[in-house]
Copies of this chain bind each other. A is one copy, B any other.
Amino acid sequence: MKNEKLCGVCPTSLFNGDTEASGRVLELDRWLMRAFLKGVGSPDIEVVLWDGRDLVGGRGAPFRMVIRSRGTLFRLIANPLLCFGDDYSAGNIEIEGDLVPFLETVYRAMARPGDVRRRSGRLSRWSQAWSNTLAGSRQNIQHHYDLGNDFYRLWLADEMLYTCAYFPDAAQTLEQAQTAKLDLVCRKLRLKGGERVVEAGCGWGGLARYMAKQYGARVRAYNISAEQIAYARERARHEGIEGVQYIEDDYRNIAGECDVFVSVGMLEHVGPNNYRKLGEVIDRVLTPDGLGLIHTIGQDVAEPMSEWLEKRIFPGSYTPTVREMMEIFEPYAFSVLDLENLRLHYAFTLEHWLRRFEAHAPDVARLFDESFVRAWRLYLSGSIANFTTGSLQLYQVLFSRRGNSRVPLTRSHLLAPEPANERM
């Protein structure tokens, strides 16, 4: 399996041979690079051009970005958000120093408050021709999640949970923190034995397994990734878990009735044009006294995803603001009960993933190739930087129907799990 999974048409291929044939660095090249750095907020980095000698950034900066050819420089200037990723993946850009703090430095420079305000000058939603039709969604999801269970098994925790964990204590292991997340979600939902749960976008099925095993819930879990569903079914069978049904279908086709609706890490793939549709689905299936929870990556200002991330890693994805999320709830008079922002927890989670990924980089290179390793290194590192600098947030939103007074008065039940015998 080569990196065709990673790129559609990778523009670096248009410039083959550039790396060797850039010739000497011209005054024009230096001028362009300086202008570019100024344009992205003058981050405190040094830049080395392809003759290996020219420094055009600050002096004594803790990071060096090496640009290996004039073609790379021109692409970077023409479309930085796409081509930095592509050229880094292809090895045409190298970062000397740790990648995460380098990216944090760049993101912070690019997100100076003035810029954020200017970009969000109008509160209109960033518009794009979302391709998340039924067929489009399937294709988009397969691009990412059907890279192979062998690949994800290398660096996710045992339960194959590919969403933000919860670290009550930052020193916890990834496994502990993922279990803590599962239990936090169940406690927020006041899950009780025998309750009927619908899970939209179940990944490899870990939350559904947990709800069935630990709380005695009956879960119908939906997903359109064939590989994930096959894994989830096999694992539930192997562990002898009853009460979980994995359904290979789109969230728009969810039918029946449920006491609890939960979706962890699917909304990023739904697209804002479909939020109202998602609300309609929840409105169709949730009982009058039911509770729901949506867990999603989000952002505090409506901005497009990085073009590289959207094109190469997560096609069709978008991370909503709180305001945009309300289009799920408001048209159906759902009441928002609780919103928690777990931004820093996702930075911790990603740091665990990146460490494991790096430890298995040779295995990943054998499964794919070196440019795939570099692309995923950049994706994981960039995500850490997005969460530490606040370009991304992680929202957990608990909701009910209007006037449901079954909800607890305080949050005391969220802190400690109830004894298991009280739950079932």
Binding site for B on A (CB under 8 A): 108, 111, 113, 116-117, 120-121, 123, 167-168, 170, 300-302, 321-323, 326-327, 329-341, 343-345, 388-391, 393, 395, 401-405, 407, 409-412, 414-415
Contact = CB atoms under 8 A, between A and B. Distances in A.
B330 A341 contact: no
Contacts of A402: 111, 113, 116, 300-301, 389-391
Given A111-B333, A123-B330, A335-B390, 10 more contacts: A113-B332, A121-B331, A300-B330, A322-B322, A323-B327, A326-B326, A336-B339, A338-B339, A340-B411, A390-B402
Contact of A333 (B120, B338, B344): B120
B331 A120 contact: yes
5 contacts: A108-B403, A116-B332, A117-B333, A344-B407, A411-B415
A301 B403 CA distance: 12
Contacts of A330: 120, 123, 300-302, 321-323
A54 to B, nearest CB: 32
Copies in the complex: 2
Nearest to A329: B300
Contacts of A390: 335, 402-404
A302 B108 CA distance: 36
Residue among A121, A322, A404 with the highest chain B CB neighbour number at 10 A: A322
A329 to B, nearest CB: 7
Given A322-B322, A322-B326, A411-B415, A336 B403 contact: no
B345 A409 contact: yes
Contacts of A167: 409
Contact of A170 (B108, B335, B409): B409
A344 B300 contact: no
A388 B402 CA distance: 10
Nearest to A333: B116
Contacts of A120: 330-331, 333
Contact of A117 (B168, B326, B331): B331
A402 to B, nearest CB: 4
A40 B338 CA distance: 31
A335 B300 contact: yes
A110 to B, nearest CB: 12
Contacts of A111: 333, 402-403
A6 to B, nearest CB: 29
A116 B333 CA distance: 7
Which of A121, A168, A334, A339: most chain B CB closer than 10 A? A339
A413 to B, nearest CB: 11
